[in-house]
Structure 1
Amino acid sequence: MSFLAFAFANPLVLAALVALPAIWWLLRLTPPKPVTEVFPPLAILAGVLKREETPSKSPWWLTLLRMLMAAAIILAIADPVFNPRTRTLSADGPLALMVDNGWATAEDWERRRQTADALIDEAEARDLPVSLVLTADRQQDATLGTATAARARLAAARPQPLIPDRTRAVDVLRTGLNGTRPGTLAFLSDGIATGEDSVMRDLAGLAPASLRLIEGDGGEAVALTGAVNEADAMRVSASRLDATLPRALAVTAYDARGRAIANGTIAFGPGEKVASGLLPAPFELRNDFARIGIDGLSTAGSTYLLDDGFRRRRVALLSGEARDQSQPLLSPLYYINRALAPFADLIQPNEADLAVAIPQLLEQKPSMLIMADIGRLPEETYPAVTQWLQNGGTLIRFAGPRLAAAPADDPLVPVRLRQGERALGGALSWSEPQPLADYPPASPFAGMPRPEGITVNRQVLAEPTADLSERTWASLADGTPLVTTRTLGAGRIVLFHVSGEATWSNLPISGDFVEMLRRTVQLSRSGGVEGGAGAGASAPLPPYRLMNADGVLTAETAGARPLELGPGAVPPASPDHPPGLYGSEEGFTAVNLMAKDATLNAINRTDLSMAYESERLIGAEALSLRPALFTLAMLLLLLDTLVVLFMAGAFSRLRAGRAAATVLIALIGLSALAPDTVRADDSRPGDEAILDKLDNTHLAYVVTGESEVDRISERGLVGLTEFLTYRTTLEPGAPVGLDLTKDELSFYSIIYWPISASAPMPSPAAINRIDAYMRAGGTVLFDTRDQMSALGGGGASPNTERLQAILADLDIPALEPVPTDNVLTKSFYLLTSFPGRYAGSPLWIEAQPQASAEEPSRPARSGDGVTPIMITGNDFAGAWAVDGNGAPLLPTVPPDEIQREYAYRAGVNIMMYMLTGNYKADQVHIPALLERLGQ
């Protein structure tokens, strides 16, 4: 039981209080001040004037004031003290001292040492042996010895940046006593529970004659237990021991040089032991955080170290398609974006042209670049991406139709890929969807359980090589790689052999996908250690900088062992791995004192087999009132002096100062006339032409520079425009010829490009603009006008060779002739072929999933968007071209007006498909709707 004691250090001085009545009598009988007569003849005048009178004795309240002043001086000399140390050691056995020297004792360690030293002095005075054990020391010894030896050990002891191991300390103390019953067992505790919290019962089990619990300022202990770099701020969590009153803590983030760069607050409500607060700062500034500390506290628990794993990565996203607005769930980047958003800052380009977008993204210094279904990059971007990789960047690629059709010698893939893709029910296919196999031990996914229910329907295949297994992070049950990797300089290339959306596999809609991306992102440390959370097996990390009990990093690393990182989070501190940084200057991993989301609790004092005494440390329980009493006496003396001066009339002779106040009010009337409303003219040259293109649908063609080819293209689109106006509700405007190097392409849903081998080869800038146009959702209709029978076949015509040269620099998906069940055959007219001036060439479009993957009753098969490319050799424009009177300019081959009619119908179907997409495919729902309406 604790109690409040009171005593006087010099009690004999209190005898002076008996003199107070004498002082009272003397003050009351003080004679009045004598009256002096200046000139006796003026006695008459003196009688007329008011005579100044002097009281015969002092007022009672003034006497009481002086009595209080005298009493305060006497009591101050007597030195009253609250809670003086009066306890003495038991003489029934040796003194056993168990002293906490963990992280929470750093603030009051000197008082703890003084308290323990006072107990050792008393034991020495009584000639008692002493057993001393320090709970946080790695080497513990509690052998009974002399007080001198215990005092020397205590002087050398220091607080440690660790959590005390009291269970081990009690065992050491029991061994040191060797069966001897202690007379006094004093436990200098920090007040914080550890482990199973049975220390008080364990100490009572030693059967001491007297058990004393001496506590310091542990009730004020606060520890930081976690930090999460969120989207807009760093969230820091903390736990406190005493949750009685509300408390607000100021926290500060420091950079590697110790400079404060951000501030925040953690607010605890009444009864709250755990709380969190935000450190708002820009993304770049948060990545410079090296440690977080609580203002006013200097302990290992109030300091939280950050390493590269806490930095929020900047991830750049690129996609081969633009479906985010119309069909976001089918966008290659939708699930990637959702998976990375909680722990990465995502950036996307403002330009669809990769030749412009990639340099812009790399200028923002991302840690990672993700490319979803991009098969071919502009040629001029490869050096920049390669240099970025060699400097430490990480490139993650996801498969898709474009990557499946990309060249096999792509330098930005980790393994050599087979041409085409493996699909369920197709060539190189399996009979049923494949599940995932266990992750290899060297994979960063090691430690994750093998996902259940995740299957793969399509994938791109890797060519077998001797090192393929070493480059594989994840594979399917049949052994084919699912995730492969390759290092390039200081960087890394990672390839997911499935698409980033759920058409090829249901992996992107699983929780394992999020964890796989998170672990991969953690590897994108710029020059960091490939260890940390989730990394696979790696070499042990030597101690680089260790933190002392005051929360300061030092170069003293003696006694610490190398840190071995395995799957999962970084372990909390231990005697073998004290808190600090492990690794090297190039990269390190932070080990913090507290486990994530730990809670501070008070020591359990219930269910003890014996009573114990509770007391405070030296300097905390003994409170002397001497300074306060002396201060009170001085204040009373000053008050008495003022009263005496007032009674003597000293203040009445002072002249009253004149109070003069001069108030100057300056009113300046400014009447400003309201200006006339002026509207800014923000129009620019060429806006009229742009508005003219936007007010209606226009067919467009590429100007090749050959007058005859361009004339046929223009007249062909005029003919198709007139046919659309006559046969459909669409009334397009006049056709537009386009210069690929400078005209805006996004105004047109489809661009007709007649290929001519004799025309100048388009510049790389023009090809990049066409690639960006197709990537943004536009479609280019290439017409070689040579009735080719197969794309890239032997004996190709010059126009086909020119087309191959153009397509070599474009990122295009795999192609196929229009299937009979494609929406293009049903978008307006029912067609089986797409003739032009010639009728022998098929119309090539983006390859779509096999019909077996869809419902057999579906009337039309389509993809989830319009094809970005069409290729024909049937010379559409030659069949559509008309003169000023509407007569055909060129005959069909063979001459057949029915073929021309079908050529126009093919043009109508293409335009309706471009403007409406695959809405015809939704006719599959019509029978069910009609049946429901009939009910």
Structure 2
Amino acid sequence: MSGLPFLFTNPALLAALVALPAIWWLLRMTPPRPQAEVFPPLRILARVLKREETPSKSPWWLTLLRMLMAALVILAISDPVMNPRLNTLATGGPLVLVVDNGWASAEDWERRVETAAGLIADAASRDLPVSIAFTADRDHNAAPTSADEADRRLAAARPQPLATDHPATVAAIRAALGDTRPGTVAFVSDGIEGAGDPVMADLAALGPADLRLIGADAARPVALSAASNDANGLAVTATRLVTTGPESLGVTAYDARGRAIGEGQFDFAPGESVARATVTAPFELRNDFARLGLTGLANAGATYLLDDGFRRRRVALLSGEARDMAQPLLSPLYYINRALAPYADLVAPEEPDLAKAVPALLEQKPSVLIMADIGRLPEEVYGPLQSWIDNGGTLIRFAGPRLAAAPAEDPLVPVILRQGERALGGALSWAEPQPLADYPANSPFAGMPRPADILVKRQVLAQPTADLAERTWASLADGTPLVTTRVEGQGRIVLFHVSAEATWSNLPISGSFVEMLRRTVQLARGGGVAASGAEAARTLPPYRLLNADGVLTGETGGARPLEIAAGVTPKATSDNPPGLYGSEDGFSALNLMERDAVLQPLALTGLPTAYQTAPLAGAETWSLKPALLTAAMLLLILDGLVVLFMGGAFARLRASARPAARAATILAVAVLGTGLVVAPGIGHADDSKPGDDAILQHLDTTHLAYVVTGEAEVDRISQRGLEGLTQFLTYRTTLEPGAPVGVDISKDELSFYPIIYWPVSASAPMPSAQSVSRIDAYMRAGGTVLFDTRDQISALGSASGDSPNTQRLQAILANLDIPPLEPVPTDHVLTKSFYLLTSFPGRYSGSPLWIESQLDRQDGAADRPARSADGVSPIMITGNDMAGAWAIDDAGNPLLPTVPADENQREYAYRSGVNIMMYMLTGNYKADQVHIPALLERLGQ
């Protein structure tokens, strides 16, 4: 396409160049600023005989500089454009616009649309009809229409993850035109020609007056055509269109989660259109390859999908207890993570609330769900979990204190369990720790060597039943089950009768644990497509389809099921686009390129009609306006520096005797220059949200919290009681808490508070299941709830010993997954976290303070194991009405008397509150051996 080297968009503005002589005259008549001099008398006397005259004209070179600057500004605003696109469409017939929208056009699609839009605008200016056709669309609608309608069709068009179909497109154009001869045929091409597809010859046969080939030289497509998992690595084949020079391209292997786990490189030699690369990786890692992609290219041809025959299982993990990540070896899930990470994709819940965490995990469709020491689940979770198992899910559970204390009628265990656990070894047991027995023949562990160094010290026991032996996969030497199972619908439930960490046995730190878990997970559903019959083996529904950018999406659109016949290789078409066909349980990959296909360039020789070539829009057409304005700005800066120099500014700066003044001047100039260059008013994004101030206030200061029951008097005593404890903490310790906060457990954020005081009242409304679930999640996340039934006196007079408040507490705890409890032992850290205490009174003094039981305590045993982590009991229970003892009025006087009336008892109630707070904030810090001498000194020993 020919044209002038450049043109002016606003040529009328060039008339301003006529004013340059007048500008020259004005500039010559304007003298420079007179030079200022100091007034030394001797210099004046020396020069008194010299005659000086003020010049009436500026220097010629300064005038020329300013004239050149003015000329540049005039030329810039006239907007000269290099190699502009001209409207040279033939007017003898409609514009036929053929646009390649196959996979190779995806990366520069916007430029192709811009090019086609310019041609449609030219047709509109000449009132020509437009016949537009897209070569990769299923429906090749080429009927001539108005320019506006063609523009709307162009805006709605998108690149497709398919090869172009030129014969069908030309046939549709020929049928739409009939006997009408086109004026201009413009082919916006990706440069690729199909096998036996002389598209340029077919377009020339339409008899146009003007035939154009646009954008073919801009396309440099490369595609992946084959991949095979060989013994030494994954062999990959690629083909390219342009073969004029050498080229190197990287290829990356990704797993199902989009992580790059392998790399290779193609090296094309000059003249080569096909190259091969090897992605080297261990065989186990190659089994995780889900797709291949060419580095730096984002289209369907640069992506190669791999089948699902060796897909890893997705395993969801749940724990009944949140451990401090600073001590991971004590976490219930630590050894499970280490055992399964090389063999499975592990997912964890995003929040501790089981009522939300379990459904969220099930939505991710895991093959396996592992629960470590979870005794009781929220009621609303059992239904979805049971349905997931019936549909083929595998539930693996590990025992622990919570499971041992769970109800015997738990439907999610494979056998009936006895209440509590069995301890083997220790001062209170006659039995010795037991090794493992040989694995039975019906077990997936059959064939594994029996480990001789594994000993079990604690386990949960199964009730003997007739089918217990059939359900046992592993047992101890005394015959008690270690691993049991039960088939449930299409799924399975598996129970390890020991904990997932090393407190009950050393199984989790052995190699046998890794192999047992791996074999159990491998039994879960996953892998290739399950065939239930001949028809199912041949027809696969669309599961994930590849878009033009080479990204898998769940939008299947109008794709049809893929028919797989014996001995026939499926081919990507409009009905079956490239992608994955099948289901999550198994799928087959359909790729864009046929195996070992080679890209061929357009055939441009022997055409019956001459043609013109043109680049895509933006390839050569560009404006000189920015360059001219930049040059004018540089000349303006140079002019300013010259004027400053001629005015003596730099001379005065050099003559200044004060370096500080010079520095100040330079700094002022620099600041002024920065202000001119940098845009004023730099804005900063404000990403604050409503409620952030309140959140920061709670995070900045420790607050004591209490549960708002809805009863005014109970809530008043709770608020005044925590206010009294806050003041006591401020006076006696370095902790200075903020004002107490009343929380609504159904909606308020609980994670801000280390401890929540809950005054149990039988007359208050029963909390909802959702509220109890939020409290359960709060305790799992590390918080502690102090339940106070305030019924020590009333419980003593009750025949059953259970007051209405205690019965209400039992109803609340029935919906919580709480650990076993015990009164505070005499050597517990609570008795010495700040004050040395032997009891924890409130208004009353008879009720013990119940906390989480330390199940590994063995009184009198010299080799007692260390307590677990810095864990703080998530639950405390008392009936001593602690808030009643702490409560004060505005003057600081006690609101309620103690029973019996004893101010020492109130003092010890305050001290109990201090110990509880220090225990919450420091854990078992005071249990360390380093503090024993100081404690003995205080005791006078």
Range class of TM-score, shorter chain = 0.5 to 0.7
Q: Which of 710, 716, 721 is the aligned partner of 2:715?
A: 710
SS at match of 1:345: strand
Which letter maps to 1:512? S
Q: Identify which of 876, 886, 900 aligns with 2:882.
A: 876
How far apart are 1:418 and its partner, in Å?
Answer: 1.3
What secondary structure, in the 3-state scheme, does the structure 2 residue paired with 1:419 have? Answer: coil
Tell me the secondary structure at the aligned position of residue 435 of structure 1. coil
The Cα offsets for residues 140-199 of structure 1, whole Å up to 9 and x where unpaired, read as: xxxxxxxxxxxxxxxxxxxxxxxxxxxxxxxxxxxxxxxxxxxxxxxxxxxxxxxxxxxx
Partners of 1:715 and 1:254 lie apart in 2 by 60
Where do 1:367-378 residues align within 5 Å?
A: 367-378=367-378
Q: Does 1:676 align with 2:681?
A: yes
SS in 1 for 2:473: strand
User: Aligned residues, how many?
Assistant: 555
Checking the alignment, whether the CA contact within 8 Å between 2:288 and 2:311 is kept in structure 1 is no
Q: Answer yes or no: is 1:414 the counterpart of 2:419.
A: no
Task: Please report how far the alpha carbon of residue 889 of structure 1 lies from its aligned counterpart in structure 2 after TM superposition.
Answer: 1.2
Q: Aligned letter for 1:884?
A: D
**Corresponding letter in the other structure for 1:446:** A
Q: How far apart are the structure 2 equivalents of 1:509 and 1:787?
A: 47
Pair 1:362-2:362 in alignment: yes
- Contact kept, 8 Å, 2:856 with 2:865, in 1: the verdict is no
Residue of structure 2 in register with 1:133 after alignment: none
Give the structure 2 partner of residue 844 of structure 1: 850
SS at match of 2:905: helix
Distance 1:527 1:757, change over 3 A: farther
CA deviation map 1:821-852 (0-9, x unaligned): 11111111222221111111111111113433
CA contact (8 A) 1:848 1:863 kept: no
Q: 1:848 to 1:704 in 2, by over 3 A?
A: same
SS in 2 for 1:381: helix
* Separation in 1, partners of 2:863, 2:732: 30
Indicate whether 1:866 and 2:869 are aligned: no
Pair 1:778-2:736 in alignment: no
**Distance of 2:586 and 2:749 partners within structure 1:** 50
| Shift in CA distance, 664/798, structure 1 to aligned 2, threshold 3 Å | closer
Paired residues for 1:157-168 under 5 Å: none
Write the deviation string for residues 662-709 of structure 1: whole angstroms up to 9, x where unpaired: 999724348998363112222222222222212211111000000010
Q: Structure 1 410/427 Cα, relative in aligned 2: closer, same or farther at 3 Å?
A: farther
User: Cα offset for 1:306?
Assistant: 7.4
Match of 1:726 among 725, 731, 734: 731
Partner of 2:346: 346
Once residues 738 and 585 of structure 1 are traced to their aligned partners in structure 2, the CA distance between those partners, rounded to angstroms, is: 47
Letter of the 2:479 partner, please give it. G
Question: Aligned pair in 2 of structure 1 residues 223, 587: CA closer, same or farther (>3 Å)?
Answer: closer
Answer yes or no: is the 8 Å Cα contact 2:308–2:528 preserved in 1.
no
| Aligned counterpart, 2:624 | 666
Aligned residue for 1:895? 901
Structure 2 contact 312–527 (Cα < 8 Å) conserved: no
| Counterparts in 2 of 1:528 and 1:737: CA distance versus 1, 3 Å | same
- In the alignment, is residue 455 of structure 1 matched against residue 455 of structure 2? yes
Q: TM-score, normalised by structure 2?
A: 0.53
The aligned counterpart of 1:756 is 761
Name the CA shift for 1:885/1:266 in 2 (closer, same or farther; >3 Å): closer
Query: In the aligned structure 1, how far is the partner of 2:376 from the partner of 2:684?
Result: 47
**Shift in Å at residue 285 of structure 1?**
9.5
Contact 2:253-2:263 within 8 A present in 1 as well: no
Separation (CA, whole Å) in 2 of partners of 1:432 and 1:847: 23
Does 425-434 or 338-347 show the bigger shift?
Answer: 425-434
Tell me how far apart the structure 2 counterparts of residues 509 and 529 of structure 1 sit (CA, whole Å). Answer: 36
SS in 1 for 2:493: strand
Secondary structure, counterpart of 1:836 in structure 2: coil
Distance 1:252 1:722 in 2: 63
1:504 — aligned with what?
Answer: 504
The answer as to 2:751 corresponding to 1:746 is yes
Mapped partners of 1:463, 1:905: distance in 2: 47
For residues 224-244 of structure 1, what are the alpha-carbon distances to aligned partners after superposition, in whole Å with 9 as ceiling and x for unaligned?
5569xxxxxxx7599xxxxxx
Residue 808 (structure 1) aligns with? 814
Please state how far the C-alpha of 1:912 moved relative to its aligned partner: 0.7
Contact between 1:251 and 1:263, CA under 8 Å: does it hold in 2? Answer: no
Find the counterpart in structure 2 of residue 628 from structure 1. none
Listed one character per residue, the Cα deviations across residues 778-823 of structure 1 (whole Å, up to 9, x for unaligned) are: 0001111112889x99442111111111111111111111111111
Structure 1 residue 452, shift from structure 2 partner: 2.1
Q: How does 1:383-422 map to 2 (within 5 A)?
A: 383-422=383-422
Counterpart position of 2:280? 277
Shift in CA distance, 763/727, structure 1 to aligned 2, threshold 3 Å: same
SS in 1 for 2:845: coil
Of structures 1 and 2, the larger Rg is shown by: 1
Task: Report the secondary structure of 2:442's partner residue.
Answer: coil
- In the alignment, the residues of structure 1 paired with residue 586 and residue 430 of structure 2 have an alpha-carbon distance, to the nearest angstrom, of 45
AA matched with 2:441: P
Verify the 8 A CA contact 2:791 2:880 in the aligned structure 1. yes
1:387-442 deviation line (CA, Å, top 9, x unaligned): 11111111111111111111111111111111111223579955321111111111
User: Contact 1:490–1:527 (CA<8 Å) still a contact in 2?
Assistant: no
Q: Report the alpha carbon displacement of residue 281 of structure 1 after superposing the two structures with TM.
A: 15
Matches within 5 A, 1:129-168: none
Aligned to 1:69: none
Contact 1:236 1:279 in 2 (8 A): no
- Kept in 2, the 8 Å contact 1:834–1:906? The answer is yes
Summarize the Cα distance change of 1:506–1:927 in structure 2 as closer, same or farther, 3 Å threshold. Answer: farther
Percent identical across equivalent pairs?
A: 72
1:906 corresponds to which of 909, 912, 937: 912
Query: Residue type of the partner of 1:699?
Result: L
Among candidates 710, 735, 741, match of residue 736 of structure 1: 741
Identify the residue that residue 519 of structure 1 maps to in structure 2.
519
- Following TM superposition, by how much is the alpha carbon of 1:526 offset from its aligned partner in structure 2, in angstroms? 4.4
**Rounded Cα–Cα distance in structure 2 between residues aligned with 1:277 and 1:488:** 42
Give, as a single letter, the amino acid of the residue that structure 2 aligns with 1:407. Answer: P
Whole-angstrom CA distance in 2 between matches of 1:555 and 1:505: 53
Contact preservation (8 Å) 1:780, 1:870: yes
CA–CA distance in 1 between the matches of 2:694 and 2:262?
54
Is the contact between residue 486 and residue 494 of structure 2 (CA under 8 Å) also seen in structure 1?
Answer: yes
Call closer, same or farther: CA 1:704–1:444 in 2, change over 3 Å.
same
Q: In 1, Cα distance between the equivalents of 2:282 and 2:622?
A: 48
Q: Which amino acid aligns with 2:851?
A: I
Q: Residues 727, 408 of structure 1: CA spacing in aligned structure 2 closer, same or farther, 3 A cutoff? A: same
- Residues 484 and 773 of structure 1, relative CA distance in 2, 3 Å threshold: same
Letter paired with 1:742: K
> Is residue 528–residue 586 contact of structure 1 (8 Å, CA) maintained in 2?
no
Corresponding residue SS for 2:785: strand
* CA shift digits 1:694-743 (9 cap, x unpaired): 22111110000000100111111111111111221111111110011111
Task: Give the Å deviation of 1:456.
Answer: 1.3
Question: 1:232 aligns to what?
Answer: none
Q: Secondary structure at the match of 1:508?
A: helix
In structure 2, relative to structure 1, the CA distance for the partners of 1:587 and 1:909 (3 Å cut) is closer
Alpha-carbon distance between aligned partners in 2 of 1:820 and 1:344, rounded to the nearest angstrom: 46
Q: Report the AA paired with residue 333 of structure 1.
A: L
Structure 2 unaligned regions, length at least 5? 1-226, 237-247, 268-276, 293-304, 531-536, 539-563, 568-581, 589-619, 634-676, 937-941
| 3-state SS of 1:852 partner | coil
